[in-house]
Every structure is written in C-alpha cells, then in structure tokens.
Amino acid sequence: MVSATLGRAIPVRLSLFYAALFLVIGVNLPFAPSYLATKGMGEAQIGVLLAAIQLSRLVGNPLIARAADAWGETRLPIILLCFLSLLGFALFLAVDGFTGLLILSLALGLIFTAVMPLSDSLTLRAAALGGFDYGPCGSGDRWDSSSPPPGQAG
C-alpha cells in the first residue's frame, strides 16, 4: 500500500519540480536583459552575457552528464545543481561590472543549464520504472510555454 502511494506521488512531485523550474526560466528569460541594463550594461554587453550562458552550456552539459553517469545517480546532482544555481542567481544582486557578470554568466551556463537534461533523464527513468507517462510531468507541453500551440507552425 505504501509503495502504491509513493508510486502515485512521484509524477506529482516531478510535475511540481518542472513547474518550479519553468517558473525560474520564465522569469529569467524575459527580464534578464532589462535587469542587466539596470546594472549599466549596454546592448552589446547584454548580448555577450546572454551568449556566454549558451556557449558554456555546450561544455557544461556533457561534462556534468558524464559526471552524473559516473556517480551513478541523477537526483543528488540535480539537487546540488539547483542549490548552486540559486546561489548563482542570488549573486547577480551583488556582482557589478561586465567582467564579474561575465564570469557569473559562464558559471550559471555550466550549472543551471544542466538541470533540465538531468531532470529529463531522471523523469524518463522514473516513468519507465513507475509505468506513468512522461509527457504530463516532464518538460513536455504541459509546462513548456516556449513551444508553439498545437496546429501552429513554430
């Protein structure tokens, strides 16, 4: 009886996790350029800072995924990455100047962007073991507002 209750709780917990993750992304993405402008960054500097996040993810995601595979666990690295991401986002309040913001952006690109692929891996594994659908609780259409509505070309 307990395992059946826990089995039903896993998709709910994963759905809530994805909702929180997409809330962070949904607040950060549209407001980051405006916030960086209030920190005195010009348009070109803002572009470099935002690009730095994406460029460092090219290195960070495979390295962190490999480390999680070698560790043999996904959940604990996700928790650690979320905590470090929270710390990194909080540091945006204290760090000023282009160089400091660039270092912080590169670090967040390594850390925060790895949360989603690891979470998807964890959710897919849990769905296969628990016999539930990935779509309603994963990073599918339920929480992802960046995908176009059905019937509309992206």
Domain carrying residue 94: 29-128
Whole-number percent of the chain with pLDDT over 90: 55
**What is the rounded distance in angstroms from the CA atom of residue 129 to the CA atom of residue 146?**
29
According to DSSP H, which parts of the chain are helical? Answer: 2-38, 43-71, 75-91, 98-111, 115-130
Let me know if residue 69 belongs to a domain.
yes
User: What's the pTM value of the predicted model, to 2 decimals?
Assistant: 0.78
The tally of domains found in the chain comes to 1
Let me know if residue 91 belongs to a domain.
yes
Long-range contacts of 95-102 (CB under 8 A, 24+ apart): 96/39, 96/40, 98/41, 98/45, 98/49, 101/36, 101/39, 101/41, 101/49, 102/48, 102/49, 102/52
**What is the rounded distance in angstroms from the CA atom of residue 90 to the CA atom of residue 102?**
15
Judged on CB neighbours under 10 Å (0-12, 13-18, 19+), 29 is: exposed
Q: How many residues does the chain have?
A: 154
Residue for token digits 């070309």? 153
Which DSSP category does 73 fall into?
Answer: -
pLDDT band at 126 (very low <50, low <70, confident <90, very high): confident
Let me know if residue 19 belongs to a domain.
no
Let me know if residue 53 belongs to a domain.
yes
Let me know if residue 64 belongs to a domain.
yes
Render pLDDT for 63-106 as a digit per residue (tens, 0 to 9): 998 998 898 888 899 999 999 999 999 999 999 999 999 999 99
Let me know if residue 104 belongs to a domain.
yes
Let me know if residue 46 belongs to a domain.
yes
Show the tokens assigned to 33: 């350029």
Instruction: Answer yes or no: are the C-beta atoms of 34 and 143 closer than 8 Å.
Output: no
Q: What is the pLDDT of residue 82?
A: 95
